[in-house]
Amino acid sequence: MTLAEKLGQLQQLDGDFPTGAGRPEQFEMVRKGTLGSTLNVRGAKNVNELQRAALASRLKIPHLFAFDVIHGYRTIFPVPLGEAASFDPKAAELSAYIAAKESRSAGVAWTFAPMVDIARDPRWGRIVEGAGEDTFLGVEFAKARVRGFQGTDYSQPDRVLACAKHWVAYGAAQGGRDYNTTDISENTLYNVYFPPFKAAADAGADTFMSSFNDLNGVPATANRWVMTDVLRKEWKFDGFVVSDYTAVMELLNHGIAKDESDAAQLALNAGVDMEMVSRFYNTHGEQLLKDRKLTAATIDEAVRRILRVKYRLGLFDKPYTDESLEAKTLLAPEHRKAAREIAAKSFVLLKNDRQTLPLRKNIDELAIIGGLADSKEDVLGSWNGDGKVADAVTLLEGVRNKLGNNTKIRYAKGCDAKCEDTSEFNKAVDAAKDSDFTILVVGESAAMSGEAASRSNLDLPGRQLDLVKAIHATGKPYAVVLMNGRPLTINWVAENSPAILETWFAGTEAGNAIADVLFGDVNPSGKLPVTFPRSIGQIPIFYNMMNTGRPFKEAEKYTSKYLDIPNTPLYPFGYGLSYTNFQLSNVRLSSKQIAPTGSLTVSVDVQNTGSRDGTEVVQLYIRDLVGSVTRPVKELKGFERVALRAGEKRTVTFTLKPEQLGFYNAANKFVVEPGDFKVWVSQSSDGGLEDNFTVR
Ligand code: BGC
């Protein structure tokens, strides 16, 4: 390979997003062998066209087509945070598999997913793209999503190459402001932020994306410690790293590179192999070699990593996409069916006084209120691939589909998600007054979360709370349906509204899935993958905090607390109700004492004590009481979805192994330390049945 051809493999450029076509300049570069990859070029025909140019180049190295397939390609699934609320990694594996199948049929071989950033700050809009605040849950979803995208062999025509992003600590942006600096101790990186990435790599994810943020003084994209020492040397990762969009260029703004060539040198030497969109490697590579600021070996190694993955993708054997598959694959009926089922699993019943829900299907007159109730765009969420607004089913449509013509439905918008204008509140109030029941849909627009969508205030936007209060004041029964991409501070609603169903942004089949749950065809089973604070002043608030030297004690002044609000969240991690009730009893441990290399089982009986079939997510938490570094007051170490018929009782057994009992010590070595542990089995991170054991 010539130097230009080598540098070409390190370059990725952005195609034309609206049409999915490659740009004229890109065709030329590809023909010359100086462009190895694009993002956003998609659609079998577009892809094949550009691929033909690649195969007309001197070396005939196939082109690699990337796209952000975050929660679906054409069939859109719930936003990842919502999907994590299912506590069902199998569901995530299935949605990733369907997304892979659709993507590959459209020529996309590489997705920029899963996003496995731990996010403990709901102000950060990108909390919507991951699995929430918890490392254990994040690990399980990271593995499942990688398996779903890649299968066991990502050269298969229904699989895509995965990309674990954003490496690393992007979710810890100061103040929750996107792209902001992060400063996280190495030990917290090892214990909290790294594990989902490690799990993704171990599950076979062959690409990583370098994050935008400055990390402990060295931007991730120039950070040799994370890109090479941890990822390659410690974890033996042999795939490649792509920079985030213009992240190499942004090293200038970070003030770590004095010019373009310096930025290229820093990123490549750190271990970032492919440059997305900016072109510093290509522009300055040759001179950097001459100046000996870069070695030929470094360039060769980056090229080798990229070509290895192209081989693994099977592109050399099968560079073209079969153009006959796309139309029948996209939005296939079984994909929509899966999207509907997974969406229903993602909903979290936050409150249900006096069995307000589910609703009877023979209700005579029903009011549906809220701009979000009939917005196709918003249910598709913040990063909806090649999803089409026209495909989406809104809540209003879903309820109509469910009830047919026997119910008179009065729809009144009230206001849109911004809710600056209250002039239509009256119509909404009238609709509620005239109806037997009201479904009131409030929350955020999809654009209020996702990238570059941080918020400093987590209340319902605009005057929406006034709308809720106005409907409440009618005295008629109602339920609140939330759509949002992050935890919201909804104290008034939590206290006063009779029922609340959290539905996130549920994707193409949102409306049908919501109707399934509202009318009791599906019993809600989701649990919060992230804490709902009472106030933004509590942030960061997550269930697995440290105890502190002065843990909160009622009526004692010098303990860790706020003067004006409790320490407790509005809704804890792992929380969610059902239309039935479950009871846990009879916790038993296989042993009260184990060796550091040993394991034990924790069993519990779980019974459905209500009169409806349902599914409970039984959760296992531990606390390591004394450690060489401080340990969280609780840590999730197991969970299982248990489907039980009314009255049915079953035993659930969890196994605690060294990998669950250990942690990274001050030297960042994984250790299981002798000592006492508490263990809980529970229905959320709050409370539960407690026992204990000793590691000796
Ligand atoms: C985002 C990435 C994304 C990339 C390509 C960036 O702005 O941070 O998550 O994969 O764009 O679209």
pLDDT-above-70 percentage for the chain: 100
Tokens of 199: 């799990």
Cross-strand bridge partners of residue 482: 442, 502
How far CA 681 is from CA of 350, 653, 659, 664, in Å, comes to 20, 10, 19, 24
Distance between CA atoms of 105 and 326, rounded to whole angstroms? 5
Instruction: Convert the pLDDT of each residue in 296-311 to its tens digit.
Output: 999 999 999 999 999 9
Could you tell me if the CB of 451 is within 6 A of ligand 1?
Answer: yes
pLDDT at 538: 98
Chain centroid to CA 503: how far?
A: 15
pLDDT at 694: 98
Could you tell me if the CB of 102 is within 6 A of ligand 1?
Answer: no
For the four alpha carbons of 526, 531, 532 and 534, in that order, the dihedral sign comes to: positive
- What average pLDDT does range 593-613 have in this prediction? 98
Residue to substitute in 13, 40, 108, 112 for testing ligand 1 pocket (most ligand atoms within 8 angstroms of CB): 112
Instruction: With beta carbons less than 8 A apart as the criterion, state whether 106 and 44 touch.
Output: yes
Spell out the residues 6+ positions from residue 328 whose beta carbon is closer than 8 angstroms to its own: none
Q: What is the greatest pairwise CA distance in the chain?
A: 80
Spell out the residues 6+ positions from residue 394 whose beta carbon is closer than 8 angstroms to its own: 373, 374, 375, 376, 379, 510, 511
pLDDT at 545: 98
DSSP 185-198: -HHHIIIIISHHHH
Confidence of residue 435 (pLDDT cuts 50, 70, 90): very high
Tokens of 435: 């109806």
Instruction: Convert the pLDDT of each residue in 32-86 to its tens digit.
Output: 999 999 999 999 999 999 999 999 999 999 999 999 999 999 999 999 999 999 9
pLDDT at 360: 98
Could you tell me if the CB of 244 is within 6 A of ligand 1?
Answer: yes
Instruction: With beta carbons less than 8 A apart as the criterion, state whether 241 and 276 touch.
Output: no
pLDDT at 449: 96
pLDDT at 493: 98
Q: Atom 6 (ligand 1): residue with closest C-alpha? A: 245
pLDDT at 24: 98
Confidence of residue 534 (pLDDT cuts 50, 70, 90): very high
- CA 636 to ligand 1 centroid distance, Å: 30
Q: Atom 4 (ligand 1): residue with closest C-alpha? A: 245
Q: Nearest-5° angle of CA 389, CA 481, CA 122?
A: 85
Which has the closest alpha carbon to 442: 392, 395, 390, 387? Answer: 395
Residue to substitute in 13, 39, 65, 68 for testing ligand 1 pocket (most ligand atoms within 8 angstroms of CB): 68
Which has the closest alpha carbon to 639: 134, 96, 121? Answer: 134
For the four alpha carbons of 452, 453, 454 and 456, in that order, the dihedral sign comes to: positive
Q: Atom 10 (ligand 1): residue with closest C-alpha? A: 112
Confidence of residue 285 (pLDDT cuts 50, 70, 90): very high
Distance between CA atoms of 427 and 209, rounded to whole angstroms? 49
Query: Tokens 């039980």 label which residue?
Result: 644
Helices (H), 237-393: 251-254, 260-270, 280-290, 296-312, 326-329, 333-346, 376-379
pLDDT at 663: 98
pLDDT at 467: 98
Query: Active-site residue among 117, 178, 214, 244?
Result: 244
- CA 243 to ligand 1 centroid distance, Å: 9
Confidence of residue 7 (pLDDT cuts 50, 70, 90): very high
pLDDT at 28: 98
Which has the closest alpha carbon to 92: 73, 106, 77, 76? Answer: 77
Spell out the residues 6+ positions from residue 636 whose beta carbon is closer than 8 angstroms to its own: 134, 136, 137, 544, 573, 574, 619, 620, 621, 685
Instruction: With beta carbons less than 8 A apart as the criterion, state whether 462 and 445 touch.
Output: no
Is 244 designated active site? yes
Q: Atom 8 (ligand 1): residue with closest C-alpha? A: 244
Mean pLDDT of the chain: 98
Could you tell me if the CB of 245 is within 6 A of ligand 1?
Answer: yes
DSSP conformational letter for 154: T
Confidence of residue 191 (pLDDT cuts 50, 70, 90): very high
- What average pLDDT does range 580-603 have in this prediction? 98
- What average pLDDT does range 220-229 have in this prediction? 98
Q: What is the CA radius of gyration of the chain?
A: 26
- Exposed, middle or buried, 292 (CB in 10 Å: 0-12/13-18/19+)? exposed
B/e letters for 235-253, b = 16+ CB within 10 Å, e = fewer, are eebebbbbbbbbbbbbbbe
pLDDT at 326: 98
Phi, psi for residue 606 in degrees, rounded to 5: -130, 130
Q: Atom 7 (ligand 1): residue with closest C-alpha? A: 245
pLDDT at 447: 98
Cross-strand bridge partners of residue 502: 348, 482
Q: Atom 2 (ligand 1): residue with closest C-alpha? A: 244
Could you tell me if the CB of 129 is within 6 A of ligand 1?
Answer: no
Q: Nearest-5° angle of CA 465, CA 466, CA 472?
A: 90
DSSP 595-633: -TT--EEEEEEEEE-SSS-EEEEEEEEEEESS-SS--BS
Q: Nearest-5° angle of CA 215, CA 220, CA 221?
A: 150
Local structure of 396: helix, strand or coil: helix
pLDDT at 309: 98
How far CA 485 is from CA of 444, 450, 652, in Å, comes to 7, 8, 32
